Amino acid sequence: MSISYSGTDPVTNLPLVGPRYEEKLRRLGIETLHDLLHHFPFRYSDTSDIISITELIVKGEGTIMATIESITNSRTRSRKWLTKATLSDHSGRITAVWFNQPFLTKTLKRGETFLFNGKLSTKWGRNLSNPQYEKASDETTHLGKLTPIYPETYGVSSKWLRARIKPLQNHIPDIVEDFIPFQIQKKEKVIPLSSAIEKIHFPESEKDIKDAQERLGLNELINIQIQAQKFFEKKNKYDAIKIKSDINSLLVRKLLDSLEFELTGSQENAINEILNDFNEEKPMHRLLNGDVGSGKTIVGLAAAVATYDQGFSTVIMAPTTILAQQHYQTISKTLNDGDITIPIQLLTSDSKGEVGNSPQIIIGTHALIYKQELPINTAFIIIDEQHRFGVEQRETLEKLGQTNGNRSPHYLTMTATPIPRSLTLVLYGQTNVSILDEMPKGRKPIKTYLIPQDKRQDSYKWIKDRIEKEDDQAFIICPLVEDSEKVEAKAAKEEYKRLSKDVFPDLRLGLVHGQLKEEEKNTILNQFKDKKFDILVATPVVEVGIDVPNATIMIIENAERFGLAQLHQFRGRIGRGDQQSYCFLFTDATDKTRIDRLKYFCKNNSGFKVAEYDLKNRGPGEVYGIKQSGILQLRFADITNMKQIKRAQNIAEKING
């Protein structure tokens, strides 16, 4: 009787998978046979090179094929079971030993031939200590080949997973559905998904693994592009709300002429690009990609003023309440200084009252604005994404686009972190991009130093003198709020106590972290801004939205634990005035790779450069902290490979028709 399987079958349909293992597999995200086949190896152990016992003795480790001459159990002095087996091949003999596995005398039978893989040990004489084993045959599952090693959980080993996946090898085409039509596969020279799944679990060569990873990586990129293209296709079904304006229109020019600084060339270009898009038949979808402190807010505000001037409203979405309040304060002051009267409303969870339909600028968080009934005349939406852009946000934007019936607002997404062009294509598809790659004139580059453990006290002394003599302020960033036995990182609460008592007893220290209520957090940040604290000890909650011009010193504890893009965000909290600013990276790391990353960061003030460097070395999830966003669960895709990204876009377009 032949067995048939489908992708929706529960894993309990497999032999030896009962309720106990069902629960354990659920911890790995495995519930169906489709899930099991998509539980991919993270590395491989190459046991394909079978050597003789003599060669094993010389090399110290490896895989041998040997016959069991004898096998016995005995007890050690500590009452542990010790299993000893004498193994032989054409070149000689060696002893293998296992601890607390007395059942092996029934599994490894005298006279039978097995594959053994392990290392030599000198305990109990020269022997193979706790080697892996598998009965020799023409088709093995665990040894004598490229053996996949999987993410595991308690009670579910890679060996156990391999044994469960093996019976599915001949059923993969029935379980795995390929979303790329055959004709497209043929034309684009893409291997079938079922073939890739088989190669990733049962590779016969390094090339098999590479081919499988390439197809699976392509899948990841194509899926993202399909979502992005469908989103923009839906958005383009709507006509745009036309906003007829340019950079020299009366109200926009009044705003720009009132500024205390001169716009950079890239700021002017960005404003012109946005206002040109406002005049198009279809709604704008533009990404404003700028470095820390490059002046994204004034670009967005100029477009908002142009929108108001034509009788429409602008909505600005911020990822946090702190940043929403920061935008409100900055925009209110800028408009007041320019003597421009535009109604501005800040919407937070504490806000009361209704939103009117008269032209205005509304500022709030994503979560709050999603629940609000936006003004019927909303023509421009600015999304300050803090470098996050997921499926949920896109679906919400689609609903917002229907606020005006068949007319859609224009959308501008502002990133808080520079995103390299390759990642922009992955996240945003063919969205138009405006890049701010110039810093305001007169801004001094921040000096960044890597401080090893033995120089820490000297740094503290320099910082103390600087604060006392120059009246400067400093941030000290710690990765965690409380101590953790698992992660040896500085905890903000403990560090605050230590610094207050032992290092800076004569200075005023404040503490802010994500466990505080919004009101408490904002109070402390405002007190720091009002110079009631000399030093603010904080967790990464201050990554964005904090503007304290008098803060010129940034200390980052355990700097090696952050992506360079995130370190650049922290560094961007200082250097906002005309004074020289300093960033100190404290680290206990000795690993050369980590040290080299931090040294690169110290030498480069460009957010684009550090993001590109980290992207190549760490991957998008770690660099941007967006593993939880639902869109960048990328295991195989190389998002620095522009050729592969464009290939994925091309295939996605064909799939979408």
Out of 220-224, 580-584, 634-638, least confident range: 634-638
79 vs 114, residue with greater confidence: 114
Is the model's pLDDT at 89 over the cut of 50?
A: yes
Is the model's pLDDT at 218 over the cut of 60?
A: yes
Residue 478, token pair as written in the block = 């710690």
pLDDT at 65: 94
At which of 177, 195, 229 does a domain end?
Answer: 177
120 vs 395, residue with greater confidence: 120
pTM: 0.65
Q: What is the CATH number of the domain that holds 363?
A: 3.40.50.300
Residues 557-576 have pLDDT tens digits of: 999 888 887 888 889 888 87
* Amino acid identity, position 261: F
Select, from the ranges 205-209, 399-403, 428-432, the one with the highest average predicted confidence (pLDDT). Answer: 205-209
Residues 59 and 39 in one domain: no
Asked if the structure places residue 205 within a domain, the reply is: no
Is the model's pLDDT at 367 over the cut of 90?
A: no
* C-alpha torsion sign, points 644, 647, 652, 655: negative
Residues 378 and 490 in one domain: no
pLDDT at 629: 40
Out of 114-123, 184-193, 322-331, least confident range: 322-331
75 vs 490, residue with greater confidence: 75
pLDDT at 84: 93
Residues 455 and 487 in one domain: yes
Q: Mean pLDDT over residues 150-170, rounded?
A: 92
Q: Mean pLDDT over residues 102-116, rounded?
A: 93
Out of 176-185, 201-210, 471-480, 483-492, least confident range: 483-492
Residues 276 and 367 in one domain: yes
Average pLDDT over the chain, rounded to an integer: 84
CB-CB contact of 147 with 47 (8 Å): yes
pLDDT confidence tier of residue 485, bands split at 50, 70 and 90: very low
Q: Mean pLDDT over residues 162-190, rounded?
A: 93
pLDDT at 391: 45
Residues 17 and 72 in one domain: no
Strands 92-99 and 113-121: unpaired
Is the model's pLDDT at 431 over the cut of 80?
A: no
Asked if the structure places residue 319 within a domain, the reply is: yes
Q: Mean pLDDT over residues 610-626, rounded?
A: 63
Spatial separation of the C-alpha atoms in residues 171 and 285, rounded to whole Å: 44
Select, from the ranges 37-41, 218-222, 344-348, 377-381, the one with the highest average predicted confidence (pLDDT). Answer: 37-41
Q: Mean pLDDT over residues 503-524, rounded?
A: 86
Residues 467 and 482 in one domain: yes
Out of 239-253, 484-498, 572-586, least confident range: 484-498
Asked if the structure places residue 617 within a domain, the reply is: no
Asked if the structure places residue 643 within a domain, the reply is: no
At which of 567, 586, 604 does a domain end?
Answer: 604
Q: Mean pLDDT over residues 456-472, rounded?
A: 93
Residues 20-70 have pLDDT tens digits of: 999 999 999 999 999 999 999 989 988 888 999 999 999 989 999 999 999
Residues 290 and 424 in one domain: yes
Residues 26 and 68 in one domain: no
Residue 229, token pair as written in the block = 């293209």
At which of 396, 412, 436 does a domain end?
Answer: 436
Asked if the structure places residue 566 within a domain, the reply is: yes
Look at the chain and report how many structural domains it folds into.
4
Spatial separation of the C-alpha atoms in residues 369 and 316, rounded to whole Å: 9
Residues 222-251 have pLDDT tens digits of: 988 887 777 677 666 778 888 988 888 889
Coil/strand/helix, residue 633: coil
Q: Mean pLDDT over residues 412-432, rounded?
A: 71
pLDDT confidence tier of residue 199, bands split at 50, 70 and 90: very high
Residues 249 and 337 in one domain: yes
pLDDT at 239: 80
Spatial separation of the C-alpha atoms in residues 135 and 148, rounded to whole Å: 18
Coil/strand/helix, residue 128: strand
pLDDT at 310: 93
Q: Mean pLDDT over residues 323-352, rounded?
A: 84
pLDDT at 97: 93
Is the model's pLDDT at 187 over the cut of 90?
A: yes
Is the model's pLDDT at 656 over the cut of 70?
A: yes
Asked if the structure places residue 306 within a domain, the reply is: yes
Asked if the structure places residue 200 within a domain, the reply is: no
pLDDT at 2: 64
Residues 158 and 247 in one domain: no
Asked if the structure places residue 124 within a domain, the reply is: yes
Q: Mean pLDDT over residues 270-297, rounded?
A: 88
By the 10 Å C-beta count (0-12 exposed, 13-18 middle, 19+ buried), 19 is classed as exposed
Is the model's pLDDT at 593 over the cut of 80?
A: yes
Mind spelling out the 3-state secondary structure of 511-550?
Answer: EECCCCCHHHHHHHHHHHHCCCCCEEEECHHHCCCCCCCC
pLDDT at 488: 42
pLDDT at 586: 94
CB-CB contact of 448 with 571 (8 Å): yes
Is the model's pLDDT at 210 over the cut of 50?
A: yes
10 Å Cβ neighbour count for 93?
12
Domain limits for position 355: 239-436
Backbone angles phi, psi at 194, to 5 degrees: -60, -35
Residues 515-558 have pLDDT tens digits of: 788 778 888 888 998 899 999 998 886 655 567 888 999 999 99
Residues 461 and 384 in one domain: no
Residue with tokens 């044994």: 163
Q: What is the CATH number of the domain that holds 67?
A: 2.40.50.140
104's enclosing H/E stretch is helix 104-107
269 vs 439, residue with greater confidence: 269
The percentage of residues in the chain with a pLDDT greater than 90, rounded to a whole number, is 45
Residues 295 and 359 in one domain: yes
Residue 326, token pair as written in the block = 């920061």
